Structure 1
Amino acid sequence: MSEIIRLQAADKDFELFSELPAALYPSGSLRFALPEDLNTDYLLAAYVLRANGRAKARAALYSNPHLQFAGQKCLCLGNYESADEPELAQRLLRHCCEEAKKLGAEYILGPMNGSTWNHYRFSLHHDSPGFFPEPYHHLYYNDHFKQAGFTGIARYFSSIDTIMRFDRPEVMERERELSAAGVRLRAIDLREYENELSRLFDFSLLAFRNNFLYTPVSRETFIRKYAETKKIIDPRFVLLAEDNNGNLIGYFFCLHNFFNTKEKQLVVKTIARNPDRKWKGLGQVMANSIYKAAVQEGYSSVIHAFMIEGGTSTPTSAAFSGTVFKNYMLYGKKIE
C-alpha cells in the first residue's frame, strides 16, 4: 500500500521530505557533506511517496518562469531521493510528470533544483573519489529517470590536471599583450566582499547569458548564495580581471577540495570572461596565474568542475592538461 503526499516547505510534516536521506545513506556518507539545496524561490510542491507507512522516495517540482527548453515551457524535477525500489520510484516520477502536465508544462527537466544556479545533473559513475562541492547520490537514480521515460539532454564532465604546467610561451605572450592593453589581475577583496559580489553579479548577467539553460537570479539571491562561501575561500584563488577603466572582464572562482585529506587539491568552480573577442585568451592567462599560485602553495592537482561538453570553459581546461575523470547527465522528458 503506497501513497503520495504533497507538501510545502512551511508544513509541519515537511520533515518527511527533509529527513528521508538519513534513511537512504549511511551516517558519514558524502551525501551529508553539503547542505540541503531547496530552492524556495521556485518551489511549487514537494512530494513524498510512502509505502507501508514509511517514506521511500521524494522529489520537488519547480517552476522557473525564465526557463525554457527548445522553446517549450518546462518545469524542473529536483531534490530526488529514493530507495532502490524501481516500481515505487516510477510511481512517484509519473505522478510528478502528471502534475507538471496539469500546470501546462510541455517538458520536464531533471534533476534540477529550479535553476542551474542550484544543484543539477546526476553523476554517471563513482569511479573516482568525490570532491567538494560535488553532490553525492545513488547511481541507480539514473536508471529510475530513464525507466520513467527521461532521456539525456546534456552531458557534463569534470577533468583533473596533475601535471600543473604553467608559463607556456604562448600564454605568457598573451599575458604581455593584455597587460600592455591595461588589463590587471587581482585577488578578490574580502574586506569589500559584498561589493565584490555585487560586481560579480552584474558581470555574470553578461558572461553567462548565452549558457545552456541559463536563467537570471536576483542580486539579493546571488549575494546571499555566495556570501556563504566567504569563510571557506582563499582570496588568492578567486581572481578578478579588470580592463584599464576598472571594468570587470573576467574571473576565476576556485575552492579548496575539503573532501581530499591526502593531498592539497584545488577545484575550479567557475570561469567567466567578457565574450568580446578582444579578450580571447584571458581565461588561459587567469588559469596560468592560478596555477602558479597553487604550485607555490603546495597543491598537487587542479580539478576543472562541471563543464558542459562543448562549453566555453573546455579550451582553458584542455590547455592546462585536463583529463576527464567524472561524467554527469541532465535528463529531460517531453510531456505527452
Structure 2
Amino acid sequence: MLTNLGYTIDKQSERIALPLPMSAVYNKPHFVSQFISLHRDSTQPTLVTQLLTTTLPNVSAEYWILYDDNNRPVACAGANTVMSDNSVGYVGLFEARNEKAGTIVLKAATEWLRREGVRQILGPVNLTTWLQYRLRVDTDEAPSMSFEPRHPEFYQACFAQAGFVKAADYYSTFFHIDSIIDGYTNYTRGETLDSIHLGIQFWNTLDFASSLSPERHPDLTPQDDVAKRIYDLSIELFRGKELFDDGFSRQNHRQIVLNDMISRHQVDNASLLDLSSFIVDPQNGEDVGYMACWVEDHDTLVLKTVGFVPRVRKSKVFALALVETMKRARDVWGCTKVACALMNENSAAISERVGGKSVRHVYRLYIHRPVPPVVHSEQSQKHQEAQAAETPTLPEASLKSTKCSSNSSTAHPASPSPSPLNTGSLQKRQQDMRLQMYWNQQRQKALALRSRGHAMARL
C-alpha cells in the first residue's frame, strides 16, 4: 500500500507528499481521532466512530491521512465501493485545512478506487447514501439545521482539481410556517386524511425506545416496532432509485441512522416523537407512508423525510399530512419557521410555488469517471520496461521511511537512494508510475472536453 498511490511532487522543494493509507500504519480509532481534529461540524464525531466500527457487507474501503512537516494532520479522506454495485465507488469522510492538501487526498482516494476496478465515483458520500452526503456550496450563514453539511468554499476547488464535475444539486428551503400552511390549505380545499380514508399515527403513541434494541424486548409488538416500520417503508419507497444502497441492513439503520438522529443535541427528541408519524390505511393496518420531523432552535420545524407508497401518491395525502403536522408544530411547539430538507430541484420548486419565497441552501453531488487501467501487449510492455530501466525511480526505502518517521508524510527526498528491491520490482514500480501519470493526463483532457450536461445525462 505504500507504493506510488496518490503521490505528488512539489517542484519547488522536490519533496514528496504522500497521503498514507490507513491500513498501512494506522487503525480506525486513530483515523477517527485525526478526522475529529480536522472536521468542521460537517459530521458528528460519534457518527464517524459508528461508521468505521460498523461492518458493511460486500464493501472494500480505505482511508487516508495527510500530515504536514510538523506532523499535524492537514487532510483526510475515505473511499469505498458501493454495497450493491462494486463498479461504483464513493469518496467521503473528507476534511482539509487547505486546498492543496484536500486535492492530494482526493486524488489518492480516486486512484485507489480506479485500481479497485471502479468505473464511476461519487462524492462526497460518507460510506453510504443512508448517511450524510453532498457538499454544501451556498454561502448563506443562517438559518441552518443540525444534520446538514457545513463546508468551506475551497472544498469545491479540491473536488474540481481531483477530476470531479457536478452530477446534481439538491436544496433545502426555509419558509415562514403560516405562509406554507396557508398555501397547502388552499391546495387541499377542505379535504382531510379521513376523507381519503387514511389515518395518522404519531410515534409518541408507540414504543420507539424499545424498537431501537428489539433483542432486549421480546414482547415488542409489530405495531410498536417503529424502527422496523421505518426501515421497511424506506426500502419500499426508495429501492431501485439512483444512489440508494438497498444492502444497508436493518441493524445498520437502527444502530447508526436512528441513534444519530436522537443523539444530536440540537434535536428536541420529545418533538421528534410527537411530530413524526406513520400514515396508515385503517382498513388493513398497512403503512402507506411516514414523516420524520422535529423541532430545532425552539422555533423551526425540520421536515427531514416525507415519503408515500405509489398507490396513494396521486391523492393529496402529502399536502394533508404536512398541514396536520405543521399546525401541530405551530400550535403545540410554538414553531414559526419550516425547513423542507434535502430535495431535488423539482420538489424545491413545488414547495416554493406553495409556500412563496424561501431561503435556499444548496448541496452538490460530484461525479468522477476514472480512466480504466490499460492492458498492454507483450511488445509494448517490453518497450516500457526498457525505458523504465533507464529512468530513475522513487526508492522503496524513501517510501517506507514514511511508516517509521512519526507518521509524517511531507518531508521525504525524491532523489534516488540504495534500494533492497531487485531490478524487476523497480522496473514494475516505474512502469506503474509512468502509466499513472499518462492516464492522469488523458483523464484531464477527457474531462475538459466533457460538458456538464453530458455528465448529468450519463449519471
Length-normalised TM-score, structure 1: 0.85
CA–CA distance in structure 1, aligned partners of residues 44 and 168 of structure 2: 26
Residue in structure 1 matching 2:117, options 90, 101, 104:
104
Does 2:304 match 1:269?
yes
Greater percentage in helix: 2
Residue matched to 1:208:
238
- Describe the SS at the equivalent of 1:133: coil
Residue matched to 2:77:
59
| 1:138-153 aligned within 5 A | 138-153=152-167
CA contact (8 A) 1:159 1:322 kept: no
Residue in structure 1 matching 2:340, options 298, 304, 307:
304
Greater percentage in strand: 1
Deviations 1:141-191 (A, max 9, x none): 11100111101101011001114243624325342xx41343101211464
Q: Residue 266 and residue 277 in structure 1: after superposition, are their counterparts in 2 closer, same or farther (change >3 A)?
A: closer
Residue matched to 1:173:
190
Q: Residue 63 and residue 134 in structure 1: after superposition, are their counterparts in 2 closer, same or farther (change >3 A)?
A: same
Aligned residue pairs total 320
| 1:153-192 aligned within 5 A | 153-165=167-179, 166=181, 168-175=185-192, 178-189=193-204, 191-192=206-207
Does 2:63 match 1:46?
yes
Letter in 2 for 1:116: T
CA contact (8 A) 2:171 2:360 kept: yes
Letter in 1 for 2:75: A
Residue matched to 2:12:
none
CA–CA distance in structure 2, aligned partners of residues 31 and 329 of structure 1: 14
Letter in 2 for 1:223: R
CA contact (8 A) 1:75 1:105 kept: yes
Q: Residue 219 and residue 36 in structure 1: after superposition, are their counterparts in 2 closer, same or farther (change >3 A)?
A: closer
Deviations 1:68-122 (A, max 9, x none): 8xxxx21100000111142x33322222111111110001110001221011001
- Structure 2 residues not aligned, in runs of 5+: 1-14, 212-224, 264-268, 372-459
Does 2:275 match 1:237?
yes
Residue matched to 2:288:
249
- Describe the SS at the equivalent of 1:117: coil
CA–CA distance in structure 1, aligned partners of residues 94 and 344 of structure 2: 21
CA contact (8 A) 2:171 2:362 kept: yes
User: Highest Rg: 1 or 2?
Assistant: 2
Residue in structure 1 matching 2:147, options 126, 133, 151:
133
CA–CA distance in structure 1, aligned partners of residues 47 and 343 of structure 2: 22
CA–CA distance in structure 1, aligned partners of residues 133 and 108 of structure 2: 20
Letter in 2 for 1:243: D
Residue matched to 1:18:
32
CA–CA distance in structure 2, aligned partners of residues 267 and 119 of structure 1: 16
Post-superposition offset of 1:5: 1.3
Letter in 2 for 1:153: A
Letter in 1 for 2:72: R
CA–CA distance in structure 2, aligned partners of residues 128 and 325 of structure 1: 11
CA contact (8 A) 1:62 1:113 kept: no
CA–CA distance in structure 2, aligned partners of residues 281 and 210 of structure 1: 24
Post-superposition offset of 1:22: 5.2
Residue matched to 1:287:
322
Post-superposition offset of 1:301: 0.1
Residue matched to 1:91:
104
CA–CA distance in structure 1, aligned partners of residues 127 and 279 of structure 2: 30
Q: Residue 335 and residue 254 in structure 1: after superposition, are their counterparts in 2 closer, same or farther (change >3 A)?
A: same
Post-superposition offset of 1:15: 5.1
- Describe the SS at the equivalent of 2:346: coil
Length-normalised TM-score, structure 2: 0.64
CA–CA distance in structure 1, aligned partners of residues 314 and 305 of structure 2: 17
CA contact (8 A) 2:177 2:326 kept: no
Post-superposition offset of 1:267: 0.7
Residue matched to 1:121:
134
CA–CA distance in structure 1, aligned partners of residues 289 and 314 of structure 2: 9
Post-superposition offset of 1:213: 0.9
CA contact (8 A) 1:128 1:326 kept: no
